[in-house]
Amino acid sequence: MEAAGSSSSRPPKRRRPGLRPSAPLEVAGARTPYMPSLCTNSKNPSTKCYGDRFIPDRSAMDMDMAYYLLTEPKKGKENEAVVSPAKEAYRRLLAEKLLGSRTRILAFRNKPPEPEGMLPQILFETPTSSQTKPTKQRRKIPQFAERTLDAPGVVDDYYLNVLDWGSKNVVSVALENTLYLWNASDSSTSELVTVDADYGPITSVSWACEGQHIAVGLNSSDIQLWDTSSNRMLRTLRGVHESRVGSLAWNSSILTTGGMDGKIVNNDVRMRSHMVQTYRGHEAEVCGLRWSGSLQQLASGGNDNLVHIWDASMASSNPSLGHDRWLHRFSDHLSAVKALAWCPFQSNLLASGGGGNDRCIKFWNTHTGLCLNSVDTGAQVCALLWNKNEKELLSACGFVQKPLTLWKYPSMVKLAELEGHTSRVLCLAQNPDGSTVASVAADETLRFWNVFGTSEAPKPAAKTVHTGMFSFSHIR
């Protein structure tokens, strides 16, 4: 804060740090201010004796005169040894009258402000009530699975998608030719279907949005639709692909399928002629399919190292225009792309993971087509899942000691590495409230992780035990 101006030509004196800036000084008049004499010798009126200096009250202070008195050479010096008692008494009386018996000469009327260097710290330490925010307690991330189930016969194939978690809290997992359902609410298990060896194994599963119907892709290129409430097969879609169906994704009543033949087909399951749209852009097996949260964009990943973004509005307006009309084509990966995950808090953000020769997680802006970031994980990326409540990403990798890693986005700092699986994780799935993740691995186990936080809804106590094939009697 700048000091107030003065009529004096002398330079302003430096203010002591931490003190309140003094009020502007009054301009001295032409008359000489009255200064009472401190001398008792009235016989010699020409003698001037100002004695020891004093500091009067600030309201009557004349700084110009004070400066003069302090710098004026003394004209005489009294012999302190011969000072009379009367003179000493006079000095004490004069000090009492002029200074008001105050011992703190520089006392302030108001509390002085804190030094300027401490102001930012004070502001941060004592915020106003409107700025005060409750401190969020840091959650504990479990390093081990809360439940482990046997999954004998799971096919150790990077390109397949054999695990999904429906909206009614039921997990579906394909073990060779059989599809099993595990109800997370009551831990009950049931067998939905076992296909003949000529049609199997089961290569992909996907729950419809309402959580009652499920699509099952087969190695024979057929696709079966099942009603899980009645354990009844509704229909079989044939002729969609020429070889196995490794990826499935629902968009309302549209079932999108990806095959080893490189085709992506939209099937309206309500219609007899169900094939309503075909996307052609991949030159090898389509192993990853994901619709965005808005259901307006489709991401596809293939064994040709490509990622495509398809626009749903373009496809629905004129199905014949769907051939080779992708919105974006990303060719930055150096290996097959199976892991795809749309960000829940930013609709145009897509994460993709590459295979063993790539080992990278890349982030794409699907509006502009730009690659925002690329992170080398050091291992084959098999699956990706976003946390629905925090800016975090879970990756499943292959051929590493700890295949599950939780990352903080966008810094991509490792928050935790989860232990348990002894072989590569093939697929990930997330429960409806987003708190728990299921992982199936080539070590023939299905594990459940409370990695994204505790659900508000009560759930049964977790037990980390091996209980056979989902705890039912016939194992292996």
pLDDT in tens, 354-408: 999 999 999 999 999 999 999 999 999 999 999 998 999 999 998 888 899 999 9
* pLDDT tens-digit map of 193-233: 999 999 999 999 999 999 999 999 999 999 999 999 999 99
Show Cβ contacts of residue 123 under 8 Å, excluding neighbours closer than 6 positions.
Answer: none
Instruction: Indicate the pTM of the whole model.
Output: 0.68
Cα gap 327→314, rounded to integer Å: 9
SS3 content of the chain, % helix, strand, coil (to 5): 10, 35, 55
Q: Residue type at 50?
A: Y
Give the strand order in the sheet containing 413-418.
Answer: 380-386, 392-398, 404-408, 413-418
Cα gap 33→65, rounded to integer Å: 8
Average pLDDT over residues 169-188: 96
The per-residue pLDDT for 62 is 66
Residue 75 has pLDDT above 60, yes or no: no
Average pLDDT over residues 130-145: 70
Residue 124 has pLDDT above 50, yes or no: no
Confirm if 404 and 447 have CB atoms less than 8 A apart. Answer: no
Lowest mean pLDDT among 131-140, 419-428, 437-446, 461-470: 461-470
Beta bridge partner(s), residue 188: 183
Residue 102 has pLDDT above 60, yes or no: no
The per-residue pLDDT for 458 is 45
Give the strand order in the sheet containing 275-280.
Answer: 245-251, 254-259, 263-268, 275-280
Average pLDDT over residues 422-427: 94
> Model confidence at 459, in pLDDT bands (50, 70, 90)?
very low
* pLDDT tens-digit map of 332-359: 999 999 999 999 999 999 999 999 999 9
> Strand ranges (DSSP E) for 38-128?
none
Q: Angle CA(213)–CA(216)–CA(221) in degrees, nearest 5?
A: 145
* b/e sequence 58-68, b meaning 16+ C-beta within 10 Å: eeeebbbeeee
Cα gap 169→14, rounded to integer Å: 74
Nearest to 90 by CA among 42, 57, 43, 56: 42
* pLDDT tens-digit map of 18-28: 444 444 434 44
Q: Angle CA(431)–CA(436)–CA(437) in degrees, nearest 5?
A: 85
The per-residue pLDDT for 70 is 73
Residue 178 has pLDDT above 90, yes or no: yes
Cα gap 27→62, rounded to integer Å: 9
Residue 40 has pLDDT above 50, yes or no: no
> Model confidence at 141, in pLDDT bands (50, 70, 90)?
confident
> Strand ranges (DSSP E) for 111-270?
147-150, 163-165, 170-175, 178-183, 188-194, 202-207, 213-218, 223-227, 232-237, 245-251, 254-259, 263-268
Confirm if 395 and 379 have CB atoms less than 8 A apart. Answer: no
Burial of 405 by CB count in 10 Å (0-12 exposed, 13-18 middle, 19+ buried)? buried
Average pLDDT, the chain: 80
Phi, psi at residue 418, to the nearest 5°? -95, 135
Residue 312 has pLDDT above 50, yes or no: yes
> Which is more confident, 51 or 391?
391
> Model confidence at 294, in pLDDT bands (50, 70, 90)?
very high
Confirm if 414 and 402 have CB atoms less than 8 A apart. Answer: no
The per-residue pLDDT for 349 is 97
Instruction: Tell me which residue has tokens 């000469």.
Output: 105
